[in-house]
Amino acid sequence: MGYFCVRNRVMNSVLLFLFTLGNVQSGVSDKLHNDDDYGEPYFLKAPTNITVREGDLAKLKCRIANLGPKMVVWRKTNEDYPLTIGEMSFSQDDEMSIDHSQITKTSSTWDLLIKNVKPKHAGMYECQISANHLIAHYVSLNVVDKSEMRPGKQTPMLAIDAIDFET
């Protein structure tokens, strides 16, 4: 029962945030920004398959060009709710956060950080740009047991380039 109440509160907070954001963006962004100033947003090269040792820090990278006034949303593909919207976290896991930085005038990073990664964190994640159509970059997170890797040996990070899915 407690989990259900917490989950409902999280969902209500997300919905209220999205409703407020939609109202603010529809009224303000048209005056401040024109999407034509930025062009269509797109993802820059970033790893799509990450392997991390249990207990370590997982950094799921998301590099975006031409974001403009749009928002970035991280979600785990098998979950119904977003983990983050912009820099705001909606995850019940306090170990998740966003590392955001502006690289150039038109490109930025929106990396999802997961501290003390656990097997439950393994799976497919989606970095999504709010738009009229789905623009998403997918990252597969693999978590290996500490005993599978020798101490002192660095965890290999496997990066596989793939085509981003846009529908």
The mean pLDDT values, 10 residues at a time, for the chain of 167 residues are 43 43 38 57 96 97 96 95 94 90 96 97 97 93 83 53 45
pLDDT of residue 109: 98
Structural domain including 118 reads: 35-148
pLDDT the model gives residue 93: 78
List alpha helices for the chain, DSSP H: 2-24, 30-32
Residue 103 lies in a domain: yes
**Half-sphere exposure at residue 87, Cβ-oriented, CA atoms within 13 angstroms:** 6
Does 161 reside within a domain?
Answer: no
What's residue 151's pLDDT?
57
The model's pTM: 0.70
pLDDT at 6: 41
Tell me whether residue 5 is in a domain: no
Closest of 86, 95, 109 to residue 52, by C-alpha: 95
Q: What is the pLDDT of residue 79?
A: 92
> Residue 147 has what pLDDT?
75
pLDDT of residue 152: 57
Overall domain count for the chain: 1
One-letter amino acid for residue 85 of the chain? I
What are the angstrom distances between the C-alpha of 39 and each of 68, 69, 105, 136?
8, 11, 13, 16
Please report, for the domain that includes residue 43, its CATH number: 2.60.40.10
Please check whether residue 77 lies inside any domain of the structure. Answer: yes
